[in-house]
Structure 1
């Protein structure tokens, strides 16, 4: 098992509640110092928060503070391509959540599985908000499950905006679970125009083993400054 594979499995363990360094070292048959380095790398990438003796996965609120100015810049640019009256699908995520906040005053129909976007639009008198129903996945606050996929089959949107934990030119969007990679693929194909919102820290980043191929025309919205 190479370091990247070990870190991906380590993140799964942390998500499941395992967080003590010695326990993780025993489980992966490596030294505690190796686990500390792995957790430091995951923390730098925004996936976990280091605690005394271990780590926990970052919440959406923690991730929202990472590269905040860049995410806000991307969200504003994405809002500008949307026309009044359109049907827009928003993936769960921090940048898509910021985009939702920019749409609260617009005459639109917004379809989303993201709790952040739902909260941003819940009190908007202008937006018709359609919430995709399913199971709420923590800590990224995404609604997932087969019922979400079934609902997407009946939606023909004007635009879809996808988030990403990583973006590879060869493989597409990187996701923390197979379930989410399937869901992103369904979203990718449910609209006439597709966009990926990814700040520069996501470009070329491959933290997980699950992928959504970007096998249709799409626009990547990022900032390289």
Structure 2
């Protein structure tokens, strides 16, 4: 297994609750030195926090993580995002008007929608526009201020535009999602824009990779106080999904990552 893929797998294991070096050694069949080296590298990237004898999610120790660059997010968990997009696209039917939120996971869904007939996409995601418009998919870009770190629009103009629109299905990303609490984001404007989207959607889907489950890495929140569907790459029996599967308002769908 290549180093990058091995460390992504180790990150997911830590975020799912496997926190001891000994358990990680047994799980991956690797030496203690290799495991410790990988944990140190993940900690240096601020993706986890080293603890005595192992590691933990940064969110579990109350840290607010710095937001990753767009390039970093575009490259990380690529296969998982593509798997999530393949599950999510099955919910898009001919005649639908859908909203695609900002982010690289929703951009992966846009790639799956390229060339589709009979749908209308409303979005604040400039990455999605660049994928869909050349493929002749009708796209409405809501206005607002451009946020370069995510290549999305937000702010008062975006909020006003959303108040004039309704959609059949909204597909949202997030920096983290916590059962019973909602979605966390780096800025108040991002969090509030998601709240506006949720109000205007008949159905809501949250598309997140498993490292974001239970992750309260930022301080701004969008409540989720209605029925919604979580689409993630975590296996159905993953400990990180337990809190979600126990809630009546959440439907959980697991995506199979292609090997």
Q: TM-score, normalised by structure 2?
A: 0.65
Q: In the alignment, which residue of structure 2 is the partner of 1:40? A: 44
CA–CA separation in structure 1 for the residues paired with 2:133 and 2:187? 27
Q: In the alignment, which residue of structure 2 is the partner of 1:32? A: none
Q: Displaced runs of 4+ in structure 1, greater than 4 A? A: 36-39
1:160 equivalenced with 2:164 (yes/no):
no
Q: In angstroms, what is the RMSD of aligned CA positions? A: 2.1
| 2:132 aligns with one of 101, 121, 124 | 121
Instruction: Report Cα offsets for 1:150-173 as digits up to 9, x if no partner.
Output: 011111111000001001113200
Structure 2 gap ranges (5+): 1-39, 50-65, 236-259
CA–CA separation in structure 2 for the residues paired with 1:176 and 1:156? 26
| Secondary structure of the structure 2 residue equivalent to 1:106 | coil
CA–CA separation in structure 2 for the residues paired with 1:138 and 1:38? 25
CA–CA separation in structure 2 for the residues paired with 1:168 and 1:187? 18
CA–CA separation in structure 2 for the residues paired with 1:151 and 1:122? 20
| Secondary structure of the structure 2 residue equivalent to 1:140 | coil
> Cα offset for 1:99?
0.2
Q: In the alignment, which residue of structure 2 is the partner of 1:90? A: 100
Structure 1 residues 156 and 170: alpha-carbon distance in aligned structure 2, compared to 1, 3 A threshold: same
Structure 1 gap ranges (5+): 1-35, 46-55
Q: In the alignment, which residue of structure 2 is the partner of 1:11? A: none
Instruction: Report Cα offsets for 1:155-198 as digits up to 9, x if no partner.
Output: 11110000010011132001000010000111112111110001
Q: In the alignment, which residue of structure 2 is the partner of 1:58? A: 68
Q: In the alignment, which residue of structure 1 is the partner of 2:122? A: 111
Q: In the alignment, which residue of structure 2 is the partner of 1:197? A: 207
Contact (CA 8 Å) 2:180, 2:224: kept in 1 or not? no
Contact (CA 8 Å) 2:99, 2:121: kept in 1 or not? yes
> Cα offset for 1:64?
1.7
> Cα offset for 1:59?
2.5
CA–CA separation in structure 1 for the residues paired with 2:68 and 2:48? 11
Structure 1 residues 173 and 79: alpha-carbon distance in aligned structure 2, compared to 1, 3 A threshold: same
Aligned length: 179
Q: TM-score, normalised by structure 1?
A: 0.74
| 1:211 aligns with one of 214, 221, 239 | 221
Q: In the alignment, which residue of structure 2 is the partner of 1:26? A: none
CA–CA separation in structure 2 for the residues paired with 1:93 and 1:104? 17
| Secondary structure of the structure 1 residue equivalent to 2:135 | coil
CA–CA separation in structure 2 for the residues paired with 1:210 and 1:197? 18
> Cα offset for 1:222?
0.7
Q: Which moved more, 1:91-100 or 1:135-144?
A: 135-144
> Cα offset for 1:79?
0.6
Instruction: Report Cα offsets for 1:12-53 as digits up to 9, x if no partner.
Output: xxxxxxxxxxxxxxxxxxxxxxxx9998353559xxxxxxxx
Q: In the alignment, which residue of structure 2 is the partner of 1:9? A: none
